[in-house]
Amino acid sequence: MKKIGVITHYFGSKNYGGLLQAYALCKFLNERGCYAEQISYDSSYKKSNKSLRLLTINEIKDRIKSIIAPVCYKFSDYKIKSSLLQREKAISIFRTAIPHSKTIYNDITIEKSNEEYDIFITGSDQVWNIDWYHPPYFLDFVSPKNKKISYAASISKERLTMSQISLFKRSLSDYNAISVREESSVALLENVIKMPITYCLDPTLLLSEFQWNDICSKRLCQEDYIFCYFLGKNLVARKLAMEYAIRHNLKIITLPHLSGHYRRCDAGFGDIQLYDISPGQFISLVRYSKFVFTDSFHAIVFSHIYKREFVVFSRNAISPMNTRISCITKLFHTEDRYCDTEEKLSIAYIESLEKIDYSKNQIDYIKKREESISFIDDVLNL
């Protein structure tokens, strides 16, 4: 049996969606008779601490947060810090249960993983987001004797610069098969790489509702509630959630300070603020909610899986089109749930939405799921 190494945003991740897609791909592959596990790749370790290089946008943000966060704690409830540690623990327990390599690799040692695996898969999630560029996510370390595949890799860009085009052309030229998570990325890469580019589903959508029930926890709140899952700081979205909750006599459940640091936008927001929440409990919060307000791709995914009512917003008020959100809502014909214009950012608009008819919104998804499975079967010879 060939051994498959999957590289994605797994090691040390505190992101619910990222870990659930990492879990899903391994589970799906292993249930089809493969031996697949996540490669424990520590992307924070650099080849040379003395070398000069330009920091990515997200690295700059992380450094700023590390400076600002301690100051924010002084002006907020210091108990938040211990609560966030509880959240990290709950997430960590789930993370370690996902099949993964015992060896922790870094930029220097990642080549040694060629001795452990026959096939390498990069994806899903934003492994090809240039703002978070790390060569191993492009499988630059893989030996020519081993297979290189991308599964539902996300670029999260609508267009590429000349230097980015050059990078993709250089990095993907020797792949055995390429698939991306957003339909718009197909055309983007077909102009760069002279090989077929396939649009596939995020791994979370490869598993059925019944498979997700295996790890979904029991109901956490017996009262009817809105689940607000906001990774960004959009205050308009939070205000609309509060208005909707008041009108419909619903509680608001939130997971505050998802950045891992105190955020003023989360202070006092929500009737029930939860910290000690595992990915299985995250799924439960979606499953038993009356309505989901979010800015998260994977919160939308689980809203569809469990047939929940939802609306989704851009991370920071109105911003350029989010390809991930546009793609997933188009697949399920729920584009009207994306509140991405001034007109849609109103309680009147949200109240005017008809209930989602999930019985009519499954045809394209079922077809795309079959195509995604066929892609995996074909490239792995299953």
Residue 8 confidence (pLDDT) above 60: yes
Residue 79 phi/psi, 5° resolution?
-65, -20
Q: What mean pLDDT comes out for the span 246-265?
A: 95
Shared domain for 290 and 339, answered yes or no, is: yes
Ranking 42-46, 231-235, 342-346, 363-367 by mean pLDDT, the lowest is 42-46
Residue ranges making up the domain that contains 119: 3-57+87-207+366-380
Instruction: For residues 177 and 239, give the distance between their C-alpha atoms in angstroms, rounded to a whole number.
Output: 45
Q: How confident is residue 56, by pLDDT bands cut at 50, 70 and 90?
A: low
Which pLDDT does position 13 carry in this prediction?
95
Q: How confident is residue 322, by pLDDT bands cut at 50, 70 and 90?
A: confident
Residue 60 confidence (pLDDT) above 90: no
Specify if 70 maps to a domain.
Answer: no
Q: How confident is residue 304, by pLDDT bands cut at 50, 70 and 90?
A: very high
Specify if 179 maps to a domain.
Answer: yes
Which pLDDT does position 131 carry in this prediction?
86
Instruction: For residues 310 and 324, give the distance between their C-alpha atoms in angstroms, rounded to a whole number.
Output: 16
Shared domain for 131 and 255, answered yes or no, is: no
Q: What mean pLDDT comes out for the span 298-319?
A: 89
Nearest to 100 by CA among 203, 9, 221: 9
Specify if 82 maps to a domain.
Answer: no
Ranking 54-58, 328-332, 344-348 by mean pLDDT, the lowest is 54-58
Residue 109 phi/psi, 5° resolution?
-100, -5
Which pLDDT does position 63 carry in this prediction?
53
DSSP strand pairing (119-122 vs 3-7): parallel
Which pLDDT does position 75 carry in this prediction?
42
Which pLDDT does position 73 carry in this prediction?
46
Which pLDDT does position 315 carry in this prediction?
84
Shared domain for 264 and 280, answered yes or no, is: yes
Burial annotation 274-308 (CB, 10 A radius, 16+ → b, else e): bbebbbbbbbbbbbbbbbbbbbbbbbbbbbbbbeb
Q: How many separate domains does the chain show?
A: 2
pLDDT in tens, 194-211: 899 999 999 999 999 999
Higher pLDDT, 18 or 50: 18
Instruction: For residues 284 and 213, give the distance between their C-alpha atoms in angstroms, rounded to a whole number.
Output: 9
Shared domain for 138 and 284, answered yes or no, is: no
Shared domain for 158 and 253, answered yes or no, is: no
Nearest to 349 by CA among 357, 362, 360, 340: 340
Q: How confident is residue 51, by pLDDT bands cut at 50, 70 and 90?
A: very low
Which pLDDT does position 104 carry in this prediction?
97
Shared domain for 293 and 356, answered yes or no, is: yes
DSSP states of 241-263? HHHHHHHHT-EEEE---TTSS--
Specify if 65 maps to a domain.
Answer: no
DSSP strand pairing (272-273 vs 251-254): parallel
Shared domain for 136 and 227, answered yes or no, is: no
**Three-class DSSP category at 59:** helix
Shared domain for 159 and 225, answered yes or no, is: no
What is the CATH number for 254? 3.40.50.2000
Which pLDDT does position 61 carry in this prediction?
59
Which pLDDT does position 67 carry in this prediction?
47
Token couple for 78: 């210091």
Report the predicted TM-score, pTM, of the whole model to 2 decimal places: 0.90
Shared domain for 143 and 251, answered yes or no, is: no
Residue 318 confidence (pLDDT) above 60: no
Which pLDDT does position 78 carry in this prediction?
66
Which pLDDT does position 45 carry in this prediction?
75
Specify if 76 maps to a domain.
Answer: no
Shared domain for 194 and 231, answered yes or no, is: no
Shared domain for 193 and 309, answered yes or no, is: no
Residue 83 confidence (pLDDT) above 70: yes
Shared domain for 285 and 173, answered yes or no, is: no
Q: How confident is residue 79, by pLDDT bands cut at 50, 70 and 90?
A: confident
What is the CATH number for 34? 3.40.50
User: In which region does residue 245 sit, left (phi positive, over 0), alpha (psi from -120 to 50) or beta (all else)?
Assistant: alpha
Does the bond joining 124 to the residue before it have cis omega, within 30 degrees of 0? yes
Specify if 141 maps to a domain.
Answer: yes
State the average pLDDT for the chain: 90
Instruction: For residues 38 and 19, give the distance between their C-alpha atoms in angstroms, rounded to a whole number.
Output: 11
Amino acid in position 53: R
Higher pLDDT, 51 or 161: 161
Q: What mean pLDDT comes out for the span 138-161?
A: 94
Specify if 36 maps to a domain.
Answer: yes
Token couple for 49: 């601490």
Q: What mean pLDDT comes out for the span 341-349?
A: 95
Q: What mean pLDDT comes out for the span 46-57?
A: 49
Q: How confident is residue 359, by pLDDT bands cut at 50, 70 and 90?
A: confident
Specify if 67 maps to a domain.
Answer: no
Euclidean distance between the first and the last CA atom of the chain, given in angstroms as a whole number: 11
